[in-house]
Chain A
């Protein structure tokens, strides 16, 4: 049984560019959440998608947006990249109401 799959594993982008990160949830999970983990810090909640709608959002600017597809997979988009967006981006899937979180291995984004 595959867990949460994220792609790509590593990415280097230039300041001002746009990036798209992808996540496939664990089988049977219908809710996808995204977290940003800066170096040496704990993960910070970006937003959560359920039934293709953003259900909850953390304290992140509108440059961060997402999407959930009918097969429950999800994308995280970041526009106008800043150096400070360099981080490990973690995707987590869960069943209803966030129980049973499973995290992916993350995408390491470096903005230069």
Chain B
């Protein structure tokens, strides 16, 4: 079945460092791909999405490109801030539901 695999955390970076969180997927067809973020004690917020191959999703300085040839959707940010500390989930659409990865906890040091 469809699935998402993302790098395990926690990931600890200093403020202003470059961020990459790797995500690969297995799917039949052409799903939409998502990155969700979960701040402590809160629900999920959609960070960005891409609906077809070569699309680039972007929001709040974060970017991810839908790569069909490598079945990847890596999350990147050029300069992270302390406020980016959260858990990040890579996900894909599977008909009427969303399949999530296990999440990557990101901790940014001031």
A interface residues, Cβ below 8 angstroms from B? 31, 33, 40-45, 48, 55-56, 58, 90, 92, 97-98, 101-106
Given A41-B102, A41-B103, A42-B89, A97 and B96 contact (CB-CB distance below 8 Å):
yes
Choose the segment among B43-51, B60-68, B74-82 that binds chain A (4+ C-beta atoms closer than 8 Å): B43-51
Which of these, A42, A55, A106, contacts B100 with CB under 8 Å? A42
CA–CA, A48 and B42, complex, Å: 22
Given A104-B43, A105-B42, A106-B43, A56 and B101 contact (CB-CB distance below 8 Å):
no
Q: Is the CB of B43 within 8 A of A56?
A: no
Q: Is the CB of B44 within 8 A of A45?
A: no
Q: Is the CB of B44 within 8 A of A90?
A: yes
Q: Is the CB of B46 within 8 A of A101?
A: yes
Given A42-B89, A98-B93, A103 and B99 contact (CB-CB distance below 8 Å):
no
Which interface class (under 10, 10 to 19, 20 to 34, 35 or more) fits B? 10 to 19
Q: Mark B67-110, 1 if CB is under 8 A from A, else 0.
A: 00000000000000000000001010101111111110000000
Residues of A within 8 A of B42 (CB): 105-106
Residues of A within 8 A of B36 (CB): 103
Question: Can you list the 5 inter-chain pairs with the closest CB atoms, starting with the nearest?
Answer: A42-B100, A105-B43, A103-B44, A98-B96, A45-B97
Q: Is the CB of A103 within 8 A of B43?
A: yes
Q: Is the CB of A48 within 8 A of B97?
A: yes
Q: Is the CB of A42 within 8 A of B97?
A: no
Which of these, B44, B45, B96, contacts A48 with CB under 8 Å? B96
B1-40 residues at the A interface, CB under 8 angstroms: 4, 36
